[in-house]
Structure 1
């Protein structure tokens, strides 16, 4: 068995897969189109604050992720939810004060979600990860797989893609072509975060905590649908972070800010407008996340973990992986971990039988 492997995508699945395969003796290279690792994990540094513009929270049901966190010694802490939270039901009804139960807490990484990625990447051999390498073609030629990027051509025995399935079929040409059934499925597989707008505001002080508020908003009205405290555990930086509703996509950034400010003023008062910085990530504009071939009317996690994604292609030369393919918590960091562990087991078993 040819033990050279090219992994497409340096997100959580790609990096953990590389780590596991290198430990088994495989020769691994990871190709990442972006100029950073992480994919839909993106910790933005704004002054002293680290705000999450992508994947953020996990809980005790994410036990595969918790095992990896423990393995790589990545510190985390409980999401702040103490105090009054708010729920907006209708536009003509004042925000309702609510108490959020804390019997099933969520957690965040002390040094940002990127800390988990950096901890895994640090265990990889030198010259494993290659950034700014957009894969354009994957060609299976006899016993070899040729991978063409915007700057080079690599050859390997096995290729593992960790891209969202819709992005995969949109951006990479395969020879032979992928099965029609798989292509149709990929077009109908929801890409987690693809229709999200993540918003972060940083502050000099946590005015909401001083007023006995948690910083949490749940809203049916918008533009913010969910908003949470994202201050650091050392209480040195303060931020509010969450999601703007998908309807905000039709507005300009300036229009979104105006509407968000109006909502925050309604809920928290004038102090909410005294922010130091505003950041947003419109994931539907992210070139390597959103597919131009994907419908916008898919429901969350549609076709995630489908059986077609579990079988290798082209005589065990191409493996489809990534969080959308996970049968367990598809779309989440937990799913990304499960997908990595699953594909590694397949390759290990294949290696043992040859």
Structure 2
């Protein structure tokens, strides 16, 4: 088979799509704007600790993801939730002690979520992935597609984009232009995590476990809205990781830290302030995730998996994929897997009918 495919984006959808297509005999190239693979999966190392600044958890309902984990033999373990957890209802009410049921556990990857990506990438042919290459334009011609990056021009029979739709229309120029109804839909398709702030604090010891606490916080008032133990399975490195409220975007990093410290002290006491390092990722500032064209105040997953994303454009030369396009668990890792399998099935079917 001589059919060539360019995939835009080396996140979970892009990597799995590339692997599946290579196995079918397609010639595949992935173009990734960042200097790393993963997109909204981003595992940071802090000494011995690995903290997740992007996608982290999955559960038993994510069966497509579980199949991939088994296929690529990626180890995982159950999220630590043992002990007292806390729920804050109002700012003038002390945190309430709660017990989180264990009937529907969540899981994390033993070696970080990036381990899943690395396991797939290791199966790709050499030089399949080109990092730090920003796609600027896509021109659909009569017999081919032309993709222009900031450094070169490439040609392919088919282009698959895995970018969030809002980022796609904001960052890449198309010729012919994308349909107006597609653009309108993309502007109103919520990009998962675009409005999120992920926060991680590492510690020398898991003081919360010594207090028989799970490290879990749920809060209606913030600044942290969800917080969890993110120590490793070997119990050798210790961290608390979660989400800060989107309202924290109006504060400076220093102001956010001050407010987060106050909340942690209120819940856990002085020991919570003895952290070794603090990290945050403001996803609304991430150049290749955010979109200046996305409509404000969209509800989570709005228009995710819309029917319009399921149909190829420009006489089957442009395929729209990625987590937001998935009809199943849109926006999540499970959705990214489903989107990859779906676009590969379409290309396989198209090839067999030609």
TM-score w.r.t. the length of structure 2 is 1.00
2:236 paired with 1:236? yes
Residue 301 of structure 2 corresponds to residue 291 of structure 1: no
Tell me the SS of whatever aligns to 1:107.
strand
Q: Say which SS state the counterpart of residue 54 (structure 1) adopts.
A: coil
4+ long deviations beyond 3 Å: none
Matches within 5 A, 1:197-346: 197-346=197-346
Counterpart in the other structure of 2:108:
108
In 1, the alpha carbon distance for the partners of 2:133 and 2:48 equals 31
- Cα distance in 2 for residues equivalent to 1:284 and 1:296: 12
Q: Counterparts of 2:149 and 2:209 in 1: how far apart (Å)?
A: 49
| Deviation of the 1:296 alpha carbon | 2.4
| Deviation per residue, 1:103-127 (Å, 9 max, x gap) | 0000000000000000000000001
CA distance in 2, matches of 1:90, 1:140: 54
The size of the alignment, in residue pairs, is 354
1:15 & 1:353 partners in 2: Cα distance? 25
Match of 1:130 in 2: 130
DSSP-derived class of the 2:148 partner: strand
Helix, strand or coil: the match of 2:239?
A: strand
Decide whether the 8 Å contact of 2:204 with 2:238 is kept in 1: yes
Q: Report the alpha carbon displacement of residue 13 of structure 1 after superposing the two structures with TM.
A: 0.1
For structure 1, which runs of at least 5 residues remain unmatched after alignment? Answer: none
User: In the alignment, which residue of structure 2 is the partner of 1:95?
Assistant: 95
**Conserved? CA contact 1:16–1:120, under 8 Å:** yes
Q: Distance in 1 between matches of 2:221 and 2:180?
A: 41
* Secondary structure in 2 matching 1:255: helix
**What's the secondary structure of 2:145's corresponding residue?**
strand
Contact residue 2 and residue 157 of structure 1 kept, 8 A? no
Query: Residue 39 of structure 2 aligns with which residue?
Result: 39
TM-aligned CA deviation for residue 141 of structure 1: 1.2
Cα pair 2:157 2:317 within 8 Å, conserved: yes
Q: How far apart are the structure 1 equivalents of 2:86 and 2:222?
A: 12
Q: 1:2: how far off?
A: 5.6
State the secondary structure of the residue aligned to 1:260: helix
Cα distance in 2, alignment partners of residues 233 and 155 from structure 1: 45
What is the aligned partner in structure 2 of residue 353 from structure 1? 353
Listed one character per residue, the Cα deviations across residues 8-35 of structure 1 (whole Å, up to 9, x for unaligned) are: 0000000000000000000000000000
Q: Distance in 1 between matches of 2:336 and 2:348?
A: 18
Kept after mapping to 2: 8 A contact 1:34/1:132:
yes
Answer yes or no: is the 8 Å Cα contact 2:32–2:132 preserved in 1: yes
> Mind listing any 5+ residue stretches in structure 2 that lack a counterpart?
none
Counterpart CA distance in 2 for 1:186 and 1:2 is 32
Counterpart secondary structure, 2:140: strand
Partner of 1:53: 53
Q: TM-score, normalised by structure 1?
A: 1.00
CA contact (8 A) 1:200 1:240 kept: yes
Q: In structure 1, how many angstroms separate the alpha carbons of the residues matched to 2:45 and 2:181? A: 42
1: CA distance, partners of 2:69 / 2:236 = 24
Give the SS at the match of 1:262.
helix
| Contact 2:2-2:27 at 8 Å conserved across structures | no
SS at match of 1:347: helix
Give the match's secondary structure for 2:335: helix
**Structural mapping, 1:4-19, within 5 Å:** 4-19=4-19
Measured in 2, the distance between the counterparts of 1:48 and 1:252 equals 28
Q: Where does residue 118 of structure 1 map in the other structure?
A: 118
Q: Distance in 2 between matches of 1:342 and 1:348?
A: 10
User: Matches of 1:188 and 1:19 in 2, distance apart?
Assistant: 31
Structure 1 contact 2–156 (Cα < 8 Å) conserved: no
